[in-house]
Amino acid sequence: MTKAMQHSSGVPLSRRQFLTRAFAAGKYGNHDCAAYRDMRELLALRTDIDAMLIATGDRWHAPASILAMQAGKDVYCEKPGALTIAQGQALVATTRRYGRVFQTGAQRASEANFILAGELVRQGRLGKIQYEGTEVWIAIADGYGRPDVSSPLLLSDYQRLVQDYTARTQRPLNHVRNFLDCVRSRRSPVTGAEVAHRTMTTNLIMDICLDLKRDLKWIRSGRNLSATPRPTGCVPARCAPRGRCDENV
């Protein structure tokens, strides 16, 4: 077997790994693309790598990101950043402890249409945000040239609001570019670990409501979110390891 068909450790490559490595060799004209069977081997040997893209299956997103940051790497991770509240807590804690840049791949946060919606909310131009209501609204999805709105007046300041956002935040309308800029500047990216954690926590809370077939009232107090009352039959796997419906972010 040739060297091109082996891992860096000499272990034979799988067919998928071999084809991936062959593609990279053809694209870049060399065989510098190394393959590793164990991520920990890569982290231990490749001290020349500053940042990593985590594109594994969802269950490995948080564990792989945490291992990479503990090894001193900045991380761009596909969404979801975590699958449980406990994983999200660990992700945030690791980012802070090791001073790493983490960006979750929620690309919409860097797209003009979604930035416009966020700015309209931030400025109070949609009124009080509620779950039901039809008075003032904005709707966006992938493929929209412009958002659908309840009134054309909401789009009258489209360009200005987006330009004000980029000037205020110094963030480009490009999600990967934002991450790379932050690797250099050490600033916080638009969808850092806290965003990844809190958005997933919201989804998990909704899952718990669906599982229990009942509403839950969550009260934010300081840095805690707690369910009142604690529902009978809560799903501990979705919450912190101790099985309580709370989080410390």
Tens-place pLDDT, residues 99-153: 999 999 999 999 999 999 999 988 888 877 665 556 788 888 888 889 999 889 9
Tens-place pLDDT, residues 173-221: 999 999 999 999 999 999 999 999 999 988 998 898 899 888 877 765 5
Check whether 6 has a pLDDT greater than 80. Answer: no
Give the pLDDT mean for 85-96: 95
Give me the amino acid identity at 190: V
Q: What domains does the chain contain, in order, with CATH numbers? A: 1-37 (no CATH), 50-108+173-244 (3.40.50.720), 112-172 (no CATH)
- Is the bond preceding 229 in cis, omega lying within 30 degrees of 0? yes
DSSP per-residue codes, 142-203: TT-SS-EESSGGGGTTHHHHHHHHHHHH---S-HHHHHHHHHHH-PPPTT-HHHHHHHHHHH
Residues 6 or more apart from 190 whose CB is under 8 A from it? 103, 109, 110, 169, 171, 175, 178
pTM over 0.85: no
- Is the bond preceding 236 in cis, omega lying within 30 degrees of 0? no
10 — pLDDT class (breaks 50, 70, 90): low
**Nearest-angstrom CA–CA distance, 118 and 123:** 9
